[in-house]
Amino acid sequence: MNEHPTTAAAAPVARLIEEFHKLPGVGPKSAQRLTYYLLRMPAAEARALAEAILEVKERITFCSACQNVTDVNPCRICASDRRDRTMICVVEEPLDILALERSGSYQGLYHVLHGAISPMDGIGPEELKIEELLSRLRSEEVQEVILATNPNLEGEATAMYLTRLLRPLGPKVTRLASGLPVGGDLEYADDVTLSRALEGRQEAQG
Amino acid sequence: MGTPRIYKTEAIVLRQRKMGEADRVLTLHTLTHGKLDAKAKGVRKTTSRMAGHLQPLNRCMVQLVQGRTMEIIAGCETLESFQPLREDLDRLSRALYAAELADRFLAERVEAVATYRLLQETLRHLQGDADVDLVLRRYEMKLLEHAGFRPELDRCLGCEVPMGPQRNFFSPMAGGTLCPSCGAGTAGSRMLSADGLKVLRLLQRASYKEIERLNIPPALAQEVERHQRSYIACVLERDVNAAAFVERLRREQQPLQI
């Protein structure tokens, strides 16, 4: 049973299984299933998938301003004249922009750090797009920087580090509020969340 | 007697890594079962009821279910969240260093109550008024002792004469102090000042209460830190990741103080 399970398959099939196996969340069984699904797929569809993968790799770059993934540089948000250019919202990952855009409540610009400070994993500030953010602040008319890193240990560490760095440069530095999630139960909230929710309480509307 | 399939224990969360769509694998330092990895399901969703309780450095009561490859966290409740550590980057960086060091020294699933209590006490003292770096130095000394790597500071490891109040040497490879004549020719040994030796000895036996009153000049603190770091790197055979971040914060603080 020491033999690798894919060696029984034809070489091109084994190769595809190996490639799928490298993807996040795809185990050996899922990799085999995906491969055999592709084998039965019409050639045109398989080609479309292959082309889509190539196109992503060839045409997508990072926006020179906000570091978001984009096919045009500067990206559509940075180039738009409908966005408020005095605000920059700093996020960890490009996916966070999608989430914020879905909410439809933010009209400013973004900046993607591509990660968060994680000292124990050896990820320091130099691994993130912080230098790029600083140079934007020096050259653009930014009045407020919103730190929208995740409300976990790494995100908080990153926010604190950025606060130290950005404060002396002039703009107002704010942090996303944290508190009770919509649809959550008070009794299950941890004390940090609860105390923050109390600190950030607002006059009731009604 | 084996561990029951479902059990409850107190634990400090040492570190975490993402897994799959919304899960995390946490490295827990449990009070009763030593260090172990446990899967926390769905904690990356905002609706997770456990996420807030399972942040690194939290001390919590966890309910664990033995799984096929690792324990699964069935429930948890915060006992101590060390909030002041999370609101101050200098304290937080030191606390993360302490947690990483514990992670690196502990063997998996070997009960280590003394180390658990030491880490808990250290996290508490990192919140207080004491010099955070001295707290770390004392923590390192105690941790080394618990792990069986207490450095020799009373005698020369070459000729066994008691160490005198002069310039001596410290050798990470030998595991402690060397007298001037033995140390001079030993590769990897570094000069250790008389005051440096005093501080190292004090860190070995003093309590945190005594450390709080201690005030030592920066150059001496640096010397002590250098010796302890190099000894730890020698024992672990690797650098401690979080040390680089602590270093960086210290460097970036410098111009502001002038």
Is the same domain home to A142 and A192?
yes
Is the same domain home to A172 and A109?
yes
Instruction: Assess whether pLDDT exceeds 70 at residue A85.
Output: yes
- Identify whether A139 is part of a domain: yes
Position A187 scores a pLDDT of 86
- Identify whether A22 is part of a domain: yes
Name which of B29, B69, B92 to mutate to probe chain A: the one with the most chain A Cβ atoms within 10 A of its Cβ: B92
Classify residue A168 by its DSSP letter: G
Domain that holds residue B18: 6-81
Q: What is the pLDDT of residues B38-58, one digit of tens each?
A: 999 999 988 888 988 999 999
Q: What is the mean pLDDT of chain B?
A: 93
Is the same domain home to A78 and A143?
yes
Is the same domain home to B67 and B118?
no
Query: What number is the average pLDDT over the span A63-91?
Result: 94
Specify the higher pLDDT residue, B47 or A76: A76
- Identify whether A52 is part of a domain: no
Question: Would the CB atoms of B86 and A192 count as touching at under 8 Å?
Answer: yes
| Proportion of chain A above pLDDT 70, given as a percent | 97
Is the same domain home to B61 and B115?
no
Position A1 scores a pLDDT of 41
Is the same domain home to B71 and B129?
no
- Identify whether A192 is part of a domain: yes
* ipTM associated with this complex: 0.89
Q: What is the CATH number of the domain that holds A116?
A: 3.40.1360.10
Residue B60, SS3 per DSSP: strand
Is the same domain home to A29 and A85?
no
- Identify whether A63 is part of a domain: no
CB A49 within 8 A of CB A114: no
Position B19 scores a pLDDT of 87
Q: What is the CATH number of the domain that holds B20?
A: 2.40.50.140
Is the same domain home to B77 and B88?
no
Is the same domain home to A35 and A77?
no
Instruction: Assess whether pLDDT exceeds 70 at residue B185.
Output: yes
Position B1 scores a pLDDT of 57
Is the same domain home to B69 and B88?
no
CB A93 within 8 A of CB A114: yes
Shortest distance, CA A66 to any CA of chain B (angstroms): 25
In DSSP notation, B69-116 reads SSEEEEEEEEEE--HHHHT-HHHHHHHHHHHHHHHHHPPBT---HHHH
CB B42 within 8 A of CB B66: no
- Identify whether A125 is part of a domain: yes
Instruction: Assess whether pLDDT exceeds 60 at residue B203.
Output: yes
Is the same domain home to B106 and B182?
yes
Cα separation, B126 vs B144, in Å, equals 19
**Residues of chain A found within 8 Å of residue B89, distances taken between Cβ atoms:** 157, 160-161, 164
Domain count, chain A: 2
Q: Band the pLDDT of A4: cuts 50, 70, 90.
A: low
Sign of CA dihedral B198, B200, B205, B210: positive
Instruction: Assess whether pLDDT exceeds 90 at residue A99.
Output: yes
Is the same domain home to A25 and A83?
no
Query: What number is the average pLDDT over the span B210-238?
Result: 94
- Identify whether A84 is part of a domain: yes
Specify the higher pLDDT residue, A69 or A6: A69
pTM for this predicted structure: 0.88
Range scoring the smallest mean pLDDT among A1-15, A51-65, B135-149:
A1-15
Is the same domain home to B72 and B93?
no
Instruction: Assess whether pLDDT exceeds 70 at residue B60.
Output: yes
Query: What number is the average pLDDT over the span A160-189?
Result: 89
Q: What is the pLDDT of residues B137-184, one digit of tens each?
A: 999 999 999 999 999 999 999 999 999 899 999 999 999 999 999 998
Question: Would the CB atoms of B15 and A189 count as touching at under 8 Å?
Answer: no
Shortest distance, CA B247 to any CA of chain A (angstroms): 11
Question: What value, to the nearest 5°, has the Cα angle with vertex B30 and ends B17 and B107?
Answer: 75
Final residue of a domain: which of B27, B46, B81? B81
- Which stretches of chain B sit within 8 Å of chain A by CB? 15-17, 20-21, 46-47, 49, 51-53, 55-57, 78, 81, 83, 86-89, 92-93, 96-97, 99-100, 103, 241-242, 244-246, 248, 252
- Identify whether B1 is part of a domain: no
Position A7 scores a pLDDT of 60
Residue B48, SS3 per DSSP: coil
Q: What is the CATH number of the domain that holds B155?
A: 1.20.1440.120
Is the same domain home to B113 and B195?
yes
Q: What is the pLDDT of residues A10-19, one digit of tens each?
A: 899 999 999 9
Domain that holds residue A141: 69-177+188-199
Q: What is the CATH number of the domain that holds A35?
A: 1.10.8.420
Domain count, chain B: 2
- Identify whether A60 is part of a domain: no
Q: Band the pLDDT of B232: cuts 50, 70, 90.
A: very high
Instruction: Assess whether pLDDT exceeds 80 at residue A153.
Output: yes
Final residue of a domain: which of B40, B57, B81? B81
Final residue of a domain: which of B81, B105, B123? B81
Query: What number is the average pLDDT over the span B84-102?
Result: 95
